[in-house]
Amino acid sequence: MTKKRAAICLILHKKSCTRPEVKAAVKHVRQSVDFEVYIPWRGKDLRRFVRQAIADGAQRIVAGGGDGTLNAVVNAMLRKGKAPKASLGILPLGTANDFARGAGIAAGDLISALELACSGKPTSIDIGSMNGQYFINVASGGFGAEITATTPQDMKKALGGAAYSIMGFVKAFQLQPYKGRLILADGAVKEGSMLVMAVGNNRFAGGGYDVAPKACLTDGLLDIAVVSGERPERLGDLTEELKDPTSPKNKHLFYRQLPSFTIETDRPLHVNLDGEPIQSRRFEFRACPKALSVVLGTASA
């Protein structure tokens, strides 16, 4: 006789499954909640399990890992753009946990996070799409994403989050700005240059940087923030603009909230999509309103 699949399935990143605190959280929560644990060894295995679990009647998929794991689970759940019957819970086990931060889920208390992921009430939220691939958090591009893609892994581990800020600022003043254009849904075009860009469905990226401070998970919009390639005379000028990103007086920061748009660049641009590196010269973005039911924290964005 085939064993009936549990209503809740925890997808646990293979590098996290041996951590004592993760084992303790799983053991503790399992005393009151019945859930199945699956540890995929390849992305293909993860996609197959998520889709089969939903087909077998699973009501909730819990993504246990960092933002990259969360991105993989979201893309598996939103197969062909159709909203799944199952909802999504989050057990933040990564280094940055940027989506969890913006969603009000505490990464420091794994027992509470897992209890919330399994038993919390879900909310229908927006999901972003870039060139047909979904993202739940942020797509960041420019020199910051290039550092993520090109900095040696050993150096990232040694510097931690500082790798993105320290090396980022060093490289920013060596790289030539990207030239390109923003094409709006009505065909209007804005041309210019940039050092950094972020397209946010949620607020945080790069280990806690508030790159899209106005972003909301339920407004049907994506927030685009672009730092101009024209370097300010004082770094403080840009800092002041970041405090009020939508001010019409801003000269170095372009910030808009849009349902869809396209970005084209003069040369291949590195983009970090929820932690996953992608490179292209054309990026088609759109918001997918209320595409997925997700358990959020009490102080979510």
Instruction: For the chain, state the CA radius of gyration.
Output: 20
Give the residue carrying structure tokens 């420019």.
Answer: 142
**CA neighbours closer than 13 Å in the CB half-sphere of residue 269:** 26
3-state helix, strand, coil in the chain (%, to 5): 30, 35, 35
Q: Where are the alpha helices (DSSP H) in 141-185?
A: 143-150, 153-159, 162-172
**What gap in Å lies between CA 139 and CA 148, rounded to an integer?**
12
Which of 36, 240, 264, 276 does the annotation list as catalytic?
276
Pairing of strands 209-210, 204-205: antiparallel
Q: Is 233 a catalytic residue?
A: no
Please return the burial class of 42, using the count of CB atoms within 10 Å of its CB with bins 0-12, 13-18 and 19+: exposed
- Active site positions, annotated: 276
